[in-house]
Amino acid sequence: MRTLSFIACANRRLTSGQLQHALAIEEGLSELDTENITDIGLIVSVYAGLVIVDKNIDIIRLVHYTIQEYFERTWQSWFPNVHTDMAKACTTYLLFKDFETGFCSTIESLRERLQLYVLYDYASKNWGYHAMVSTIEGERLVLDLLQSTGKYRHAPKLWCMHLTAHFGLWRSASVLLESNAEIDPKDAKGEPPLIWAVKKGHVEVVHLLLKNGADVEAKDESRRTSLSWAAEIGHNEILNLLLATDRVDGNSQDSPIAGERGRSPLAYAAIKGHKTVVKLLLAQPDTIPDIKSGFHFKWAGRTPLSYAAEYGHEVVIKLLLAQPRVDPNSKATGDYDHGKTPLSYAAGNGHKSIVGLLLKVTRDEPMYYTTFKDAWDDHRVAETPLSLAAKRGHESVVKAVFALPGMDPDHSFHYGVDGGRTQLLYAAEKGHEAVVKLLLAQPGVQIDSKATGTYFSSRTPLSFAAENGHVEVVKILLNNGVNVMSKDVDSQTPLSRAKTEDVKQLLLEKVSSRRQSSRPEN
C-alpha cells in the first residue's frame, strides 16, 4: 500500500525513478542504498490494473483519472499516514551527506545532481508541503533539515525562517524562535519571513511572527510592506492581524524607483477589486481614501478611485464615493495619463455602470475634456471620455457619454504626430460599426471629417475604413452619402487605399454609379 499511496498522493506525478528512490529510503539513512531500489516492472505487475507507466514521459500513474480522483477524496481513509511517510522520505533524502556541499553553483553541477539523485527535484520542492499536511511538522527530522543551512541556502541569502513561512510550518517556526532564530532576516530581495508568509496566505505563521515581535513595517526591495501584499492578495484574515498590531502604516507607499512614491495598500486593493479589504482599510481612522500615487512615468496623481474605475470594480467605486474626502474629478499627473479622470478610465475601458455612477457625481463643466501628455514626443493629447470610448468600440458607453452637457460628438482631438481626429475617424479606422452608426446619428457630425497631422493629413473615415478592410463600416459610410472621391495629402482616394477585394468592389460600384449619374442627358 505504501507504493500505491505515494503514487496517489504525491504533490505532482512522479517519474519511475523518483518513485523507486522514494520507496528505497529508510529513516536514518545518510546515503541512498541502491540495493533497496525495486524494479519498476515488478511494481507495475504487483499493482496490475491500477498502475501504469506512461513511457512517453516516464511517469508512473494510476491507470485512470477517476481512480486518482477517488483517492484524492478518500486518502485519509486509505492512506492516513501517507504524508508523514512522504515527508520523512523527502526530508531524509535531502539530509543525505552527498548534499552537505550545499547548493549547486553551476548549471552543470545541478544537472549532474539531478541525474544521479532523481528524487532531489521533487523532494526539495515538496518536502515542506508533506510536512505541513502531516503530523511530522515540528519534529526533529524537519528541524534538522531547517537547521542544516548548507543543504538549502542559496547565495546570497535564504534562511530557515523563510522556509517555515513559505511552507506554512508554524510549529517548526515556533521551535526555531524558541531556539533564538532571527525573526526578521532578509532574503536576496530584502523580504523578511513575514512577507513570505503573507504572500502564501499562511495565517498561523503570520500570527506567530507578529506575536513574537516581527517588524510589521519591514519592506522588500520595492519598499512594499506586508500590509501592501495582504491588500493586493485580498487575504482578509491576515489583513486584520496586521492592522490589529497598531504598528502598521495603512498609507505606506511602495517605491519602484528610488525617491519615487508608488501605490498604497488601498490602491492595490482597489486595483484587484477586494471589497472587504477596501472596507477594512477605509474603517481605519488614519487611512487617506484619496491618497495619490507617485512614480511619474505611470501612476503619478492616481487615486484608488481612479484604479477602481479603470478595472471596473463597481462595489469598490461605491465604497470610495461614499467617503467625503474622495474627489471624483481627480486627475492623473503621470507622463502617460496626464489629466485622465476616473470617468476617462471607466469610459475608455467600457465600464458602462461605473460611467453612470461617475456621471452622477462629476462636475457639470468642461472638465470632461482632459489633456494628457504623450510620453514619446512630448506633444499634448486632447482626449475626452467620448473619444476614448469611441476609439475602443464601447457602444453603450458612447451612448451614456452623449448625455454630458456640452459634449461635442464631432470634437477633433490631438494625438501627437497623428494630428487631429474626430471620434468618427477613430471608430471607422478600428472598424467599430455600432459606434460609427451612433456617431452618424448625432446632429453636426461630419461624415467627411479630415484628419490633420504629419502622416494622416486629409484622410477621411472612409479612407481609414477602406484601408483596414472594414467592409460593414464602408457600407455604412457609403449609405450615408460619404464622398467616395475624396483625396488625402498624398492624393490617394479611398479606392486606392483599399487592400481587400470586397472593399474595392464596393467602392468601384459607388464610383461607377456616381459617374453615371453625373453624365449629362442627351
pLDDT attached to residue 384: 78
Name beta bridge partners: 381: 372
Q: How far, in Å, CA of 265 to CA of 26, rounded?
A: 48
pLDDT attached to residue 520: 56
Q: What is the DSSP string of 267-282?
A: HHHHHHT-HHHHHHHH
Nearest to 148, CA basis, from 118, 121, 127, 122: 127
Q: How far, in Å, CA of 170 to CA of 132, rounded?
A: 9
pLDDT attached to residue 65: 92
HSE value, Cβ hemisphere, 13 Å, CA-based, for 206: 25
Instruction: Give the phi and the psi of residue 121 in degrees, each rounded to 5.
Output: -65, -50
Q: Under the phi-then-psi rule, with left for phi > 0, alpha for psi from -120 to 50, and beta for the rest, what region is 234?
A: left
pLDDT attached to residue 372: 47
Nearest to 87, CA basis, from 11, 171, 166, 147: 11
Asked if residues 242 and 210 have their Cβ atoms less than 8 Å apart, the reply is yes
Integer CA distances (angstroms), 307 to 44, 215, 233, 303, in order: 56, 29, 16, 7
Name beta bridge partners: 420: 414
pLDDT, tens digit only, all 522 positions of the chain = 899 999 999 999 999 999 999 999 998 889 998 889 999 999 999 988 899 999 889 999 999 999 999 999 999 999 999 999 999 999 999 999 888 877 777 888 889 889 999 999 999 999 999 999 997 876 889 999 998 866 655 544 568 999 999 999 999 999 999 999 999 999 888 899 999 999 999 999 999 999 999 999 999 988 899 999 999 999 999 999 999 998 899 999 987 766 677 899 999 999 999 999 999 999 999 999 999 998 766 778 899 999 999 999 999 999 999 999 999 999 888 777 778 899 999 999 999 999 999 988 876 443 444 544 444 444 556 677 888 898 899 999 998 888 776 777 887 776 665 568 888 999 999 999 999 999 999 988 999 999 987 778 899 999 999 999 999 999 999 999 999 999 999 999 999 999 999 999 999 998 887 766 655 554
Residue ranges of alpha helices (H) inside 234-338 are 236-243, 265-272, 275-282, 304-311, 314-321
Q: How far, in Å, CA of 205 to CA of 182, rounded?
A: 15
Instruction: Give me the residue label for grid cell 556541499.
Output: 101
The three state secondary structure string of 167-219 is HCCHHHHHHHHHCCCCCCCCCCCCCCHHHHHHHHCCHHHHHHHHHCCCCCCCC
pLDDT attached to residue 151: 60
Instruction: Give the phi and the psi of residue 430 in degrees, each rounded to 5.
Output: -85, -10
